[in-house]
Amino acid sequence: MHEISLAQAVWRQVTAELADRPGYRLRGLDLVVGAMSGVDPESLEFAMGLLVGESDWPDAEVRLRTEPLTLVCNACGREFTTDHFDLTCPACGSRDADPVRGTDLRLESLELETDDAAETHPA
């Protein structure tokens, strides 16, 4: 159960992004949890809910999607996904593959709103 500290790290990132954009309010945020990131999505969602609820933007929506492990075969170059961590390439049968996606936790995007008509293009 390390998701609380991960949620705090996510929140630090979110508040830093908002500090760079004065006048904007947080409406929502999108997180991507890799299948091999070692992060439990449900626990993370729960911890994020607590932090958002206590924040200046308690109604902000936390959206979370999981991303399958995606590998690239070092023998034939084929990219493929696996849901049970089998590294066998479906094209050539090689087991020499490296992960390209699905190994980390990422802040994909923020949804922001502002009352200020001049601020139409957040940096």
Partner 1 sequence: MPPKRIRLDKAIVTESDRLAAELAERYDRAGVLVMNLMSSPGAGKTSLLEATARSLSDRFRMACIDGDLATDRDAQRVRKAGMPCTQINTGGGCHLNGKQVRDALAAHRLQDLDILFIENVGNLVCPAVFDLGEHRRVVVSSTPEGDDKPVKYPVAFRLADAVVLNKMDLVGATDFVVEAFREYMDEIKPGLPVLEVSCKTGDGLAGWFEWVAAARDAVGRKVE
Q: Which of residues 75-114 bind partner 1 (CB under 8 A)?
A: 84-88, 95-96, 104-114
- Please, what is the Cα angle at 20 between 18 and 22, to 5 degrees? 70
Which SS3 state, helix, strand or coil, does residue 44 take? helix
Closest to partner 1 by CB, 79 vs 86, is: 86
Q: Does 72 bind partner 1 (CB under 8 A)?
A: no
Helices (H), 20-118: 41-53
Judged by CB under 8 A, how many residues of this single chain contact partner 1? 39
Site for partner 1 contains 10 (CB under 8 A): yes
43 binds partner 1 (CB under 8 A): no
Q: Cα separations (Å) of 69 from 15, 75, 99, 114?
A: 29, 18, 7, 37
CB of 48 to partner 1, least distance (A): 11
SS3 content of the chain, % helix, strand, coil (to 5): 25, 35, 40
Give the nearest distance from C-beta 76 to partner 1 in angstroms.
16
User: Which residues contact partner 1 by CB under 8 A?
Assistant: 1-2, 5-6, 9-10, 13, 17, 24, 27-28, 36-39, 84-88, 95-96, 104-117, 119-120, 122
